[in-house]
Structure formats: C-alpha cells, structure tokens
Structure 1
Amino acid sequence: MDSIQMFLANCNLSVSQAMRKIDSNSHGILFLVDDNNLLVGCVTDGDIRRYLLSGGGMSDVVARASNQKPKVARSLAEAIKLYHNRDYVVIPIINNQGIVIDMYMGEGVKDKKYSPLHLPVVINAGGKGTRLDPFTRVLPKPLIPVGDLPIIELIMQEYQSYSCDEFHIIVNYKRELMKAYFADNEANYNITWYDEEKPLGTGGGLSLLRGKLKSTFFFANCDALLTANYESMLKFHKDNGNVITMICAYKNINIPYGVVEMGENGVITDMKEKPLISFLTNTGIYIVEPEVIDDIGDEEAIGFPDIIEREKQKGKKVAVFPVSENDWMDMGQLPELEKMRKKLFGE
C-alpha cells in the first residue's frame, strides 16, 4: 500500500501540492481520488504545464488540470496488456467500487526514449564562479566535478542523448584548463571554442558566434543540469513562433512562520500559517533563434535577460516554458552542488 500511496492524492489538492507529490514519486503522474477514495482522474506534469500555460494558477485545485477519464484495469492481467500495448507509465488497478487496489509499473525500469533533435548547443562557460569560491580559485566552474565527471560534461551528455552533438563553448576564466581537459578527453566531443577577451556577461558572448549558426540552438549556462523533455520544449518553441524560449522551473518554498498581511491603521487583512510560496525561476537555459545574435553588438557586455527584454521591445515573441523544480539541478552554490551529486549518484 505504501507504493500505491505514492501515486494517489486527493482531488482537492492545489496544483502546487500535486507538483511536489509528482516529483516525489519520480514517475511524472498522480492519480486523484475523492473523499471516498474513488478514482476520479489523473494528472501528469505535462497536464500541469498545459494548465499553467493556459492561465491557470499554482493555488488552483488540481482537479481542474486533470484528465477525468484515466486508463484503468480491473485485474493484473488486464493491466499488463494495457501497459505493453501502449506507452503507459503506470496502470492503476481498481476494484468493482472504483477504489485503487494496486498499481502496475512494468517489470523493470523503462529505458528513456529520446527523439533526435540535432540542434547545436552553445554553453556560456566564461564566468569566474565566485559563488563556488574557493574551489574556483583552482578550477574553472565548468570543471568542478559532480561525482566522476565535471558539470559541463554531464550537461553535454544530456544534450547528446537527444543527438545534439555540436557544441560551441564560450570561455574566459582559466580557459586553457578547459581546453586542456577536453583535448585529453577520450570522448572526443565536437567543440568549437570562443575566447572572450573581456567579460561579456551572460549574453554578450553570443556576439562571438555571429554568422556561425544558421538554425535554432540551445543556449545554456554551465552550472545547471536539466532533465526535462527537450523535445517538448522545442515543440513549444516552434509551435509558438518564439525567437527565445526561457526554460523556467517552479520553486516551492515553505515559509516557516505565520505570515500576516496588514491594511490601513494596522488592520489585519489576512493570516496564513506557514504558507507555501510558489514562483518561477530562470534556469539559465534557453532555446534561441540565430537572428537574436545579430541584435547583439560586437563585444557588447550584456546579460541574457536584458537581451530578452530587448527582443520583447522590438515586438518579437519570447515566452516561458515551465518545468518542475525536480527537473532542474543548479550547482551554482556549494549546498546545491552537494544536492546535485546526491540526486545523480546517491549517497
């Protein structure tokens, strides 16, 4: 029953609470039950993303985002047949009253299936990594190891799983160490290097690639690893005609205090005990059209968020693609670096 409870939640949960439970079961799906434990729907991380993109809110009841006709089985044999006939993740098994009595998740771990995207990848690896001092006094941030590999190589391998094998890396601080590491690397990555002679910010280094890229490309900082579905991101980008799609993660933080809202003359207008705060945060990963590079001045020092604002002011389409906080690992600070290592490789 413990394994079943991982996948069950009351249909009156908020979207934010449902996202956290989906993250905890690591299968990307949650089955919703009413107060009598009857199965009334299911919701996936994709369902939630579509609901939020349509204007829904994190505090809304999750039932609004759900599929109210989930696929179910009434026996293990039926569940096995359903599971293997279609690309299902989990099949709930219900009794005659409609109560979930078991879950079928296959007989082993399913291999991830990735569609080849064949897009170039630009990685901004020129910063000093001051948040990771003193490690970055010795190594550039991209070469700081997470387990057996440096962070930049883990990022590159994630893109390679989508057949994105063409890498363009912008370097500055301790760049010779970076180049030496990959020169001796047995993996023989396809890398073109771009040297910043002066710091150009999180976006200005793209000016060094003027005329080099003819297609849509991924643009990423070197301190974040994303395990979301890159194919879905690209489809969203293309379907909406964006020049830039910013990948943002929902962060959920429990405030450990009672929060009071005050009106005129000190009148208490609202009180919440240890509220859950949800917000979108920039992962530092983007999908970009090459025309954006032409709008950056030669050796212009500028942050990429400022480039996004510039494109907006020109009337071009920019948008956010939201992902779960569980899909985003940031190693820009020492505590987060340790969290990333544990998540990827265990204790």
Structure 2
Amino acid sequence: MAEISYPFSTNTATGGTQAVSQGQWQQMSHLWNSDRVDFRLTASTYATGSLPFSSTVQNGNNVAISPGNAWVGGFYYSLTSPTNISIADNVTTNGRLDLIVIRADLTKGSVNLATIKGQPSSSPVAPSPIRSMGQQWDMPLLLVTVPAQQGVISLTQLYSFDYPATVAAPWNADILAGFVQSGQFILDMDSNNNYVQSEGFKGRDGYAVTRNLGKSKSYTPTFSNYTTGSVSAVNSSSKTGRWRWIAPNTVWFTANITTPGSHVIAPDNGRLGVTLPVPANGKAIQVLNGYIFNPSVRDDLPNQMLFTGLLENGTPKSTMALVRSNHANGDVDNMTLMPAASTLSISGVYEANAFNE
C-alpha cells in the first residue's frame, strides 16, 4: 500500500491503521511541539538554580542536574530526582567542548540524559546533537567547557522552554492582554474594522503592539504652535500622513503638508511644530530629517530646504519641533515660518511611549 495513515479506530483497506509503532508515534508526535523544557517563564526574574534542569559543577568533573520535565523528539521525559553526570577527563594541552543532552533513543525505547564528547583543539568546536528520526534524537541541555590539563569545567545552559501559545482576538487585544500569561503573543484580527490587524506581546514591561499586519494606518498631521493669524492657512492646508508599529514601542511614519497659496504660517513663539501619530518617548532626544519644497521661492527662502524634526527629552511629546539650516550663514535656526504654496515632508522612525515611561 503506497498510502498509510494513522491512528484510526480500525484497520482499513485504504491504508488506515489502528496500531502505531514507536517510530510512527515519533513521526507524528514530534510535529506537535519542538523540543522544550516543560516550564513557562512567566515571572519577571528567576533566581539562579530555581529553574528545571538547573546545574552546578561538583567535585571537579561532575555536573549535578536538578529535576525537570521535557518534550524531546516527540516523547515526554521526566527527571524525578537530582542526578550527576560525569565529564571525561582532559589531560591534553588543548581545551574541549562537550554537550549534555536529553536523548530519545528508539533503539533502547527510552529517553535519558547523555553526554557527547567533543575533540580537544586550540579552537574547540561543540559536537553536534544527534537528530535521526527513528533512532536517536537529542535536545541540547548544557554546553560544557572542559579546559586543558584538568582545568575546572564550566557550564552554559542551552535548553529552550515552553511558551504560551499565540491567541487571536476579534478586537480589544489590549484588554485581553490583562488576562493572559506573560510571554504571550496576541493577534488582533480587527474584526470590527476600526483599526488595523496587528500583533502584540505581553511581557515584563507590559503589553505593546509589536507590529501592524497589512496596510499602514492613516493620520492627519498638522502644524502646532502657530499664531491665531495662521489658523485659516493651517486649516486649509492639504494634510496626509501614514504610520504603523514596526516593532515594540517603535513607530514608522510619514507626514506631508501643503500650505495654501495666500498666507505663510508663523509660530506663536519660538518655532513651528508638526503633530505625530502617537506620542514620542521623552527619555532621550530623537532627531528626524525632513524636506520643504518652495516652488515659487517665496519669503526669501530657497526653492528646496532640508530641516530637522526634534523630539525633545522630558515629558512624552505629541509634536516635534522644527529647526532648519540658515541658507544665508549656515547656522541652525528655529523654523519661524512655513512659506505659502509650499510642501513639507518628513518621515522616519522613532521610539514611542507605549509603556507610559
């Protein structure tokens, strides 16, 4: 029979089988989850030695390993009491790297701790774990540095831990985050179509959107800190903006504002500003680059200008302040007017304030 499938309640003429061999079990069950320690890292911190399979060096070349549970190569393993693993001596003049693994051995019909001995070398390389379906399958547990001439060995933990499965919410993922485990990803499917589809993560610092999935979100940028005489010009300006979360607490955005042909826009005092899609973090100064196209060469300003958007430190900022190079003397000045019939464009990446710092 070219087609085999399992497990079914009875054997069938079309290839379905009832009994499952240990090899078939591994072929099937290893797909359920990758190798991992059966423990979720939901606390903010853990003390040394408090985790499953924590290890210490004892009496020279003995490694003491504490109890723990793991999923290895499609099989479940439990170490129910502390155990010691002996590391082979190294009397050579070169160091060596060994691996301590949890090995599912189908030829033995069990899962056990095992050691893979490396080769002494002036630049030692760790041996590779064995991963052969139907025979032996290793989950690396510890990297053992074995110095030359019986030096004191040291340990590096290699094992990975279980994690909460990603869940999806039709909406209100930020509210759901208050009721899931730390270390969990949440997909907001935006089923009510009032935001964008996004991915978020709940961790030690709280919940934050990690990235938007799909299209960018629109926003309407505008000027800030302008005079009452500039209100009509600001209101009649053409404004377009796009933004998206690209990483936790990190925003990409672009803003374009074209002023009407009748009036300049001047600051109330100091310098003009432009609004952001979400507030910027105020823990450090952030700098963005922009461009102004002044096609009619108005207000004694050049046809094209570069300017800088400053996200100043202090409290979180909803606007960026604008400064530009003085084309007459090269100094950096506050932007004290935006020419009429001109277009301001700025885009970039900045740290936001999703964690309310």
Q: Give TM class, smaller chain.
A: under 0.3
TM-score, length basis structure 1 = 0.18
TM-score, length basis structure 2 = 0.18
* Larger Rg, first or second structure (1 or 2): 2
User: Which of the two has greater helix per residue?
Assistant: 1
* Structure with higher RCO (Cα < 8 A, 6+ apart): 1
